[in-house]
Structure 1
Amino acid sequence: MNIVDRFLHYTRINTTTSREKGAAGIMPSSDGQMELAQLLAKELDALGMENIVLRDTAILTATLPANIPSVQGAKPIPTVSFFAHLDTSAEQANDTHAQIVCYQGGDICLNSALDIVLKESEFPELANYVGDDILVTDGTSLLGADDKAAIAAIMHALQVLKANPEVPHGTVKVAFLPDEEQGLRGAKAFDVEGFGADFGYTLDCCGIGEFVHENWNAGNAVVTFTGQSAHPMSAKGKLKNSLLMAHQFISMLPAGEAPQYTDGREGYYWVKEMAGNSAKTILKMDIRDFSQEGYRDRMRFLQNLSDSCGKLWGESAISIQLDDRYENVANSLEGEASFPIDIAKEAYARNVIAMKAIPMRGGYDGAVLSQKGLPCPNIFTGAHNFHSIYEYLPVKSLQAASDVVIEVIKITAERHQ
C-alpha cells in the first residue's frame, strides 16, 4: 500500500473526539478511535511487528526488533520510538471525504455546490505547492491529517524497513494514543516505563521542515467567588455580587497578556470560562509561559491577587485552586539529553529539508511523555490549517515526514555501532 492510499484509508474512519465522554472519563471517547486502533493492530501484525498490544483504552503499542546483532562489550543501540494520536478535533464531526488535487496555483474549489473555496489570498503558503498533488476535503469536515498523516508516515516507514531488511536498525517502538485533542489524555495514561524506549518523537502539526522542541509550561486556575444574596429592596449594605467580584478580579490581570495580544514566546493568562450568579461564580483560566521562572511568577501572581482580594472582600469571598498541566518539553532536552534534536537535524539534512525550529504555543503528547522521562520532540507531518475545513496536506510533505522517520532510525543505529 502506498502512503497516500494508506492515509486515505485511515481518513475514512471517523475518529472525532467526544468532549462529553472525555469529560466523563471515558477513553477512548469515540468508537472510531478503537476501530482505527484495531485496524492498525492488524496492519502491524501483517508487517511482522512484535509485542503488539491493544489496550481497552485504545492505546496501541508495537515493536520492530533490531536487525543488528549485539556485540559483546559494545554500547547498546538506544531504542527510538514514534508517536501519533488517533483522534481528530471536535471542531467538525462529519465524515471525511478526502480528494486529491493537482495544484496549478490560485484557489482550490473544495465544494462547488456549497461554494466552499480554499483561497490562496487567505492561505498564501499554497504558492509553495504549485505543481504538487494536495490532499483536501470537500469542505464539510476536517481532513484528519491531524493526526492521521502522522499515522500514515509511521506505518509507511515500518513498511519500507520491513521490505528492505538490508537497512541496519536498532529496536524501534511505535505507539498510537487516543484523545490527544482534549487534554493529552492518552499520553497522560501512557506507561512510559513499561514501553521501554530511550527517546522518542511525536509527529503532530506543522508544515514541511518545521520542528518543535519547546512549548508551554502550562497550568490551570479555578477561582471561586462567593457572594451574599439579598433582595434588591433591602440589598443596601448586604448584597455581595460574586459576578462583579469576578469581573473586578479579571480587570486586575496584566493588560495585554492574553492570547489575542501575544505571539512567539510571549506568555499569557487566558480567561477561558465563567459561570454563576450573584451568589456564586466560578472562573476558569489557563496560564502559559515558555520559561519555568516566568510560569512560576504567573502562578504566584494569581495566588497573591487572590489573597489580596480576600483581604478586601473577606477570606470566605474568594478561593483559588492552581494546578500544573504539563511542562515545556525543552526542560527534558537540555545538556546531554539534547541528542534527539541532533539526530533530527541530521535526518532533515539528509533529506535536503531545511529545519525550522518553532516554539509550539500549545501542548502536545510529547510534552507529557517528556515529563514522564521519555525525551520527545516533534517532527512535522506536512499538513496545514489543522482544526479547519481548509486543512490540507501536500503529498510530497507527507512522504518527506516518513522519510525523516526512516533516517532518524538509521542515524540512531549508525551513531551507536
Structure 2
Amino acid sequence: MNIIDRFIAYTKINTTTNREKGAAGIMPSSDGQMVLAQKVAEELRTLGMEKVQVNERAIVTALLPSNVDYSLPTVAFFGHLDTSAEHSGDTHAQILPYSGGDLCLNKEKNIFLRQSEFPELANYIGDDLIVTDGTSLLGADDKAAIASIVNAVQYLIEHPEIKHGPVKVGFVPDEEQGLRGAKAFDVQAFGADFAYTLDCCGIGELVYENWNAGDAEIIFNGQSAHPMSAKGKLKNSLLMAHKFIAMLPGGEAPEYTEGREGYYWVKQMQGNSARTVLKMDVRDFTEQGYRQRMEFLGKLAENCAELWGEGSVVCNLADRYANVYNSLQGENRFPIDIALAAYQSCGIEPKVIPMRGGYDGAALSQKGLPCPNLFTGAHNFHSIYEYLPVKSLQAASKVVIEVIKQTHNRFAQGSAQ
C-alpha cells in the first residue's frame, strides 16, 4: 500500500476525541481510536515488525530490530490516534490538483479553500492536495504522522541494505485532551533512547520549543437573594468573575499575542449569581514567566477574597506540561542535530519554530525520553480547511527514514568492530 492510500484509509475511521468521556477518565475516549489502533497494529504485524502490542487504552507499540551486529541506540517515532473535537463528522477525503487561486471543496455547499485567506497555498501550485468536502476535519493531525511512520517502516523492511539500529514506534490516544495518551505511556518499559513525534505543520518545520502550560480554575462563591430584598445581601458571583477577568493584564490573551509571547486564556465560565466557575489556560515559553503568571493569578485571587470576604474566591492551579526545550539541552541535544542533518540530506530547509501549543513529545520528554517534533506537511489543523499536500506527506516519511540513517551514521563509528 502506498502512503497516500494508507493515509486516506486512516481518515475513513472516525477517531474524534470525546471530551466528556475524557473528563471522566476513559481512555481511549472514543471507540474509533481503538479501531484505528487495531488496524495499524495488524499492518505492522503484516509488514514484519516484532513485539506489536495494543493495550486496553489503545496504545500501540512495535519494534523493528536492528539489522547490524553492533550496538546502536534505539530511536522511536510517535503519532496520535485521535482527531480534534471541533468537528465530529465522518471525513470524506478527496485529492484535488491545485493550479492556484481558490479551490472548490464542495460545489453544492459553496465551500472554497481561498488563497486570500490561506496565502501559503501559493507554495503548492502544481501539487495535489488532500482535502475534505468542507464538512469535517481531514485528520492529518495526526493520521499523516501514522501514515508517514508506517510507510517508513515498510521502506526499511523492503530495503534491508539500509543499515539501522533498533527502531520503535508508538501510537497514543487522546492527545487532543492535554496529551493524555503520552502522559499514560510507559517510557521505561518502552525502552527507547530518544524519539520524535510527527505533529506539526508545513514541510520543513521543526519544533523543539513549546509552552510551559498550566490550568487555572477559579471558583467565585456569592450569596443569592431575591431582588425585592437584595440590597446589602446579594453577592453576585457572575459579576465577581467578570471583575476578576477585568483585572487580568490587558493584551495578554491569545488573540493579541504571537511568537514567544505568553498569555492568559479565559476559556470557560459557568454559573449563576450564587456560584460561578471560571476556567483559564496559562501559557509562557520561559519557566520564570510561567511561574510569575501562575503566582499572579494566585495573588489576585487572594486579594479579591480579602475584598469580597472569606471563602468568596477559591483558586486551583495545576501544571499541564512543560517546555520540551528544557529536556533537549546539553547532552540531550543530539536528537535535534540528527533531525537537522536529516532535513539537509533530504534537501529540505529547516524552519525552526516555537510551537504555541503542546504535543506528545513534551510529556514524553518530561518522562526522560528526549523528543523533538517533526513536520507532517499539513496545514490548518482543527479546521474544515485542513489540507495536506501529497509531496509534503511523502517528504515527511522520507525524513523519518533519513533520521534512522543519520542515527546509524552518527553512532556506528566506534561501535562497529
Bin for the TM-score computed over the shorter chain: over 0.9
SS at match of 2:264: strand
**Paired letter, 1:26:** I
Task: Say whether residues 1:188 and 2:183 are aligned partners.
Answer: yes
Aligned pair partner of 1:172 in 153, 167, 175: 167
Task: Say whether residues 1:397 and 2:413 are aligned partners.
Answer: no
1: CA distance between counterparts of 2:104 and 2:312? 56
Q: Which residue of 2 aligns with 1:46?
A: 46
Q: Which residue of 2 aligns with 1:315?
A: 310
Q: Which residue of 1 aligns with 2:320?
A: 325
Q: CA deviation at 1:133?
A: 1.4
1: CA distance between counterparts of 2:227 and 2:16? 47
**Deviations, residues 363-385 of structure 1 (Å, cap 9, x unaligned):** 11111111111111100000111
Task: Say whether residues 1:91 and 2:74 are aligned partners.
Answer: no
Q: Which residue of 1 aligns with 2:263?
A: 268
Q: How does 1:328-343 map to 2 (within 5 A)?
A: 328-343=323-338
Q: Which residue of 2 aligns with 1:7?
A: 7
The number of equivalent residue pairs is 412
Q: Which residue of 2 aligns with 1:73?
A: none
Q: Which residue of 1 aligns with 2:415?
A: none
Q: CA deviation at 1:315?
A: 2.2
SS at match of 1:150: helix
Greater shift, 400-409 or 136-145, is seen at 136-145
2: CA distance between counterparts of 1:275 and 1:12? 36
Q: Which residue of 1 aligns with 2:18?
A: 18
SS at match of 2:400: helix
SS at match of 1:16: coil
Q: Which residue of 2 aligns with 1:214?
A: 209
Q: Which residue of 2 aligns with 1:125?
A: 120
Q: CA deviation at 1:344?
A: 0.3
Q: CA deviation at 1:416?
A: 0.9
Structure 1 regions of 5+ residues with no counterpart?
A: 71-75
2: CA distance between counterparts of 1:177 and 1:301? 35
Q: How does 1:10-159 map to 2 (within 5 A)?
A: 10-70=10-70, 76-159=71-154
Cα-Cα RMSD: 1.0
SS at match of 1:416: helix
SS at match of 2:365: helix
2: CA distance between counterparts of 1:26 and 1:305? 34
1: CA distance between counterparts of 2:382 and 2:150? 23
**Deviations, residues 237-258 of structure 1 (Å, cap 9, x unaligned):** 2222211211111111111111
Q: CA deviation at 1:273?
A: 1.0
Identity value in percent: 71
**Paired letter, 1:46:** T
SS at match of 1:274: strand
**Paired letter, 1:251:** A
**Paired letter, 2:19:** R
Task: Say whether residues 1:250 and 2:245 are aligned partners.
Answer: yes
Q: How does 1:343-362 map to 2 (within 5 A)?
A: 343-362=338-357
Q: CA deviation at 1:61?
A: 0.3
2: CA distance between counterparts of 1:276 and 1:193? 43
SS at match of 1:22: helix
Task: Say whether residues 1:296 and 2:303 are aligned partners.
Answer: no
Greater shift, 307-316 or 152-161, is seen at 307-316
Q: Which residue of 1 aligns with 2:227?
A: 232
Task: Say whether residues 1:377 and 2:372 are aligned partners.
Answer: yes
**Deviations, residues 17-58 of structure 1 (Å, cap 9, x unaligned):** 112221222111111111111111111001111111100110
2: CA distance between counterparts of 1:145 and 1:314? 50
Flag as ranges the 4+ runs of structure 1 deviating above 3 A. Answer: none
**Paired letter, 1:16:** T
Q: CA deviation at 1:320?
A: 0.6
| TM-score (ref. length: structure 2) | 0.97
| TM-score (ref. length: structure 1) | 0.97
